[in-house]
Amino acid sequence: MASRSSSAEGAGRTLPVNLKLITVLSIDGGGIRGIIPATILAFLEAKLQELDGPDARIADYFDVVAGTSTGGLLTAMLTAPDTNERPLFAAKDLARFYIQHSPKIFRQKNAMGSKLVGKLRMACGPKYDGKYLHAQLRRLLGNMRLDRTLTNVVIPTFDIAYMQPMIFSSFELKHRPSTNALLSDICMSTSAAPTYFPPHYFQTRDENGRRKAFNLVDGGIAANNPTLCAMGQVSKDIILADDDFFPVMPADYGKFMVISLGCGSNRNRRYCAKAAARWGVFSWLFKDGSAPIIDMFNSASADMVDIHLCVLFRALRSSENYLRIQYDQLTGSAGSIDDSSKKNMDRLVRIGNKLLDMNVSRVDLETGRNVEVPGAGTNAERLAKFARQLSDERRRRRQNELIMNSEQVFQIQHQAWYYGGDA
């Protein structure tokens, strides 16, 4: 793992012999719909607290936390340290943060022609200036950089100057020190959804004072579901001989335990080729309160990753190690990425809670809909099972570390005795 300091309680530094599973948490992009995975995370952390006490936090249990766009914000909130080197936010406070600040991030107009005005504004420039979001991120994250997170993080963005993905990863820091950017800049970049927020520009300097410029937009363009990005970063780190993951082979995905959380989608919103054949640029960007082209890109990106991982884990006979939680029946305003009305946000919280009671499901390739996995139980039941596994893995690692520390102390004492003085 990344060679940096981490919380004493965190999962971010593990001795090689102690590692049995590589634990990954991944959170999709989806704007205001980040309330849905926030609600799921609150449930998971509560289960971990039932097992290990009220101070347990998500970052204590995952070797990697990955997030795109709104998922990147959640990732930072879960892994950035406070003054006591503990996570800034408990998971139960995530949805509350969205509910408190989203009306100012996505400031809505109440005028009769607000929708038309919004469309015209988006045709001429971004719908929102992002100033309030940027101010909050600066306030929360201050001068904290990527190397300060309490466990490894992976946050995708897209660099429009180079027309390629730019992934901010704890694993890359020792090879690419110029990517050690402010967490606030990374969060602003991964959430800069085209047509909604302006692209974000910033510079970093490496240890030799050389500057590197970044011209970034929403990570959803590269990977709206960042799960494969996270797993790929781990594999790359193994290939480059990081000792922390040495016992695991680069493609040994059977050793991964993955929880992937979506922000919801709307499978009922479908389009006819004959009708779409008459669409111009405006219709592809603005149609019935949504942006069809952006919705299609994000949905396709997220589903392709899910489909690939379902096949991969099944082929490795380790399907129990992969859990994807996604709601595919969003309708009306719930499918919007920026409807910050209290009514809609309350609805998203209810959807998150409803999703916990729904059965574990997978994407059906023919229909595109989620279908229940026979005998898998509910999402809440599977999360509770994962919580037990996460707790057991953390406890096992800590016990092994105590044994190794005791052996090291014994060796030092033995050397001191043998040589008749201090070793």
Q: List pLDDT tens digits, range 181-214.
A: 999 999 999 999 988 999 999 999 877 888 999 9
When pLDDT is cut at 50, 70 and 90, the band that residue 55 belongs to is: very high
Two tokens at 66? 């990955």
Identity of the residue numbered 202: F
Cβ proximity of 153 and 80 under 8 Å: no
How many of the other CB atoms lie within 10 Å of CB of 271?
14
Above 60 in pLDDT, residue 371? yes
Catalytic, out of 6, 26, 69, 299: 69
User: What pLDDT is stored for residue 110 in this prediction?
Assistant: 54
Two tokens at 117? 């005005």
Pairing of the two strands 361-363 and 152-159: unpaired
User: What pLDDT is stored for residue 250 in this prediction?
Assistant: 53
User: What pLDDT is stored for residue 411 in this prediction?
Assistant: 63
Q: Nearest to residue 69, comparing CAs of 215, 182, 195, 222? A: 222
Least confident window among 219-228, 262-271, 343-352:
262-271
Q: Does 218 qualify as catalytic in the annotation?
A: yes
Interior angle at CA 63, CA 15 and CA 79, nearest 5: 120
Q: Nearest to residue 94, comparing CAs of 64, 73, 80, 108? A: 73
User: What pLDDT is stored for residue 251 in this prediction?
Assistant: 54
User: What pLDDT is stored for residue 1 in this prediction?
Assistant: 41
When pLDDT is cut at 50, 70 and 90, the band that residue 47 belongs to is: very high
Considering the domain delimited by 22-398, tell me its CATH architecture.
Answer: 3-Layer(aba) Sandwich (3.40)
Summarize pLDDT for 163-180 with one digit per residue, the tens. Answer: 999 999 999 998 899 999
Query: Which secondary structure element, helix H or strand E, spans residue 223, and what is its range?
Result: helix 220-223
Two tokens at 68? 């795109």
Residue ranges of domains in the chain: 22-398
When pLDDT is cut at 50, 70 and 90, the band that residue 348 belongs to is: very high
What distance in Å separates the CA atoms of residue 227 and residue 310, rounded to the nearest whole number? 12
User: What pLDDT is stored for residue 17 in this prediction?
Assistant: 47
What distance in Å separates the CA atoms of residue 205 and residue 15, rounded to the nearest whole number? 31
Above 60 in pLDDT, residue 407? no
Least confident window among 16-30, 31-45, 97-111:
16-30
Grouping H, G, I as helix, E, B as strand and the rest as coil, residue 153 is strand
User: What pLDDT is stored for residue 356 in this prediction?
Assistant: 98
Q: What whole-number percentage of the chain has pLDDT above 90?
A: 56
104's CB contacts (< 8 A; 6+ apart) are: 132
Identity of the residue numbered 71: G
User: What pLDDT is stored for residue 423 in this prediction?
Assistant: 46
Grouping H, G, I as helix, E, B as strand and the rest as coil, residue 329 is strand
What distance in Å separates the CA atoms of residue 176 and residue 277, rounded to the nearest whole number? 45
Average pLDDT of span 113-139: 78
What distance in Å separates the CA atoms of residue 303 and residue 132, rounded to the nearest whole number? 32
User: What pLDDT is stored for residue 169 in this prediction?
Assistant: 97
Cβ proximity of 223 and 231 under 8 Å: no
Two tokens at 351? 């959807």
Q: Nearest to residue 229, comparing CAs of 417, 75, 388, 398? A: 75
Two tokens at 222? 């590269």
Q: Nearest to residue 55, comparing CAs of 19, 7, 18? A: 7
Average pLDDT of span 283-287: 77
Least confident window among 101-110, 117-126, 141-150, 265-274:
117-126
Cβ proximity of 66 and 226 under 8 Å: yes
How many of the other CB atoms lie within 10 Å of CB of 399?
11
Catalytic, out of 60, 63, 218, 244: 218
User: What pLDDT is stored for residue 406 in this prediction?
Assistant: 61
Above 80 in pLDDT, residue 414? no
User: What pLDDT is stored for residue 331 in this prediction?
Assistant: 85
Summarize pLDDT for 205-239 with one digit per residue, the tens. Answer: 877 888 999 999 999 998 999 999 999 998 888 77
Average pLDDT of span 1-25: 56
User: What pLDDT is stored for residue 266 in this prediction?
Assistant: 75
Cβ proximity of 361 and 372 under 8 Å: yes
- Return the percent helix, strand and coil in the chain, to nearest 5: 50, 15, 35
Q: Tell me the chain's radius of gyration from C-alpha atoms.
A: 22
User: What pLDDT is stored for residue 317 in this prediction?
Assistant: 82
Interior angle at CA 191, CA 188 and CA 197, nearest 5: 85
Q: Nearest to residue 304, comparing CAs of 190, 360, 222? A: 222
Above 70 in pLDDT, residue 122? no
When pLDDT is cut at 50, 70 and 90, the band that residue 287 belongs to is: confident
Tokens 């408990």, residue? 90
Query: Which secondary structure element, helix H or strand E, spans residue 303, and what is its range?
Result: helix 292-315
189's CB contacts (< 8 A; 6+ apart) are: 157, 166, 200, 202, 214, 216, 217, 219
Average pLDDT of span 368-394: 92
User: Torsions phi, psi of 108, nearest 5?
Assistant: -95, 145
User: What pLDDT is stored for residue 325 in this prediction?
Assistant: 97
Tokens 């520390």, residue? 405
